[in-house]
Chains A and B, each alone.
Chain A
Amino acid sequence: MSKNILITGVSQGLGLAIARAVLAAGWNVHGVSRRLSAEFAALQRGHAGRAHFHAFDLGRVDAVKAELCEPFLPLALPLHGFVNNAAVAYDDLVANLDAARLRAMYEVNVFTPMLITKHVIRQMLLKQVAGSIVHISSISVHTGYKGLAMYASTKGALEAFSKSTAREWGERGIRSNCVVAGFMDTAMSAGLTAEQREKIHRRTALQRATSPDSVAATVVHLLGDGAASITGQNLFVDSGTI
């Protein structure tokens, strides 16, 4: 059966890799990001009628219902999965913490995904869909990294949210899991120096960056019927951080 999968942050990096993997699984993508990238547009051309796109700035928490959910995800659309991938990273020492930047990061990484989850669950209830919610978390939640305390706290919030979402909606067959991704060579970690990268890689069993395609394949598994008994879990795809 084909599925409709909502994915945020599809313009580049991991979100694009997830969109590609979801399309390869034969399912439809409903992608959201601030702008339509050339890469996602190419996916749309290659999968006629199966890769939908809606431009929305996920920092606009108060506009989620009117400008994202109502126009792009009408209640009549059966939604089988939601991949909460979009995130921003505000990296700094705790001693330099800036409230405005912290708030802006929480809006994108935590508040908007929670509101989208509300809408997604309502759609699943209406259409009686035993759907799957997947949050992309980060290894920084479980292993401390200098400069990532604020960012890691947003992902930790999502892990807690996912756990109770799983408990709350399990009796309706709705599942919620987190994929805990290790450091990937994507735009989000572009600010790291070669030395910093090397140091991070040395902290993993595989001694290398996490592959976005491996993370994407795990997401596809969690979205699929093969994961029907997996919920409330954190799956680590992180090159074996030690």
Chain B
Amino acid sequence: MHSDLLRLIDEVRANKKQPPASGVTRATRLREELGFASLDLAELTVRIEERFGVDVFADGLVQTVGELDDKITRAGKK
């Protein structure tokens, strides 16, 4: 998994006054487990776009950390 992805997730959590996420795996669910609401996901999207140059929500909803990771990997190979 891209280590910067975990850092960006923690940045969004920090803005919500939440501690860094622990035990995040590819299966971790963004909404249910990390507690990200729609506005938090929008913030995460733009942080990922700035770091990796890809809009991860441009082509539909994403549920897990692993799906985000895959989209970043695919964008990097283009």
Contacts and interface: CB of A to CB of B under 8 A. Distances in A.
Interface of A: 75-76, 121-123, 125-126, 128, 168-169, 171-172
Contacts of A169: 39
Contacts of A122: 42, 45-46, 49
Nearest to B38: A168
Interface of B: 15, 39, 42-43, 45-47, 49-50
Given A126-B43, A126-B46, 11 more contacts: A75-B46, A75-B49, A121-B42, A122-B42, A123-B46, A125-B42, A125-B43, A125-B46, A126-B50, A168-B39, A171-B39
B47 A172 contact: no
Contacts of B15: 128
Contacts of A172: 39
B23 to A, nearest CB: 26
A125 B45 CA distance: 10
A20 B47 CA distance: 33
A168 B39 CA distance: 9
8 closest residue pairs by CB, A with B: A122-B46, A125-B43, A75-B50, A126-B46, A125-B46, A126-B50, A125-B42, A126-B47
22 contacts: A75-B46, A75-B49, A75-B50, A76-B50, A121-B42, A122-B42, A122-B45, A122-B46, A122-B49, A123-B46, A125-B42, A125-B43, A125-B46, A126-B43, A126-B46, A126-B47, A126-B50, A128-B15, A168-B39, A169-B39, A171-B39, A172-B39
Contacts of A168: 39
Contacts of B46: 75, 122-123, 125-126
Most chain-A CB neighbours within 10 Å: which of B39, B43, B46? B46
Nearest to B44: A125
B17 to A, nearest CB: 13
B53 to A, nearest CB: 10
B70 to A, nearest CB: 22
A125 B48 CA distance: 12
Contacts of B50: 75-76, 126
A219 to B, nearest CB: 26
Contacts of A121: 42
A171 B16 CA distance: 11
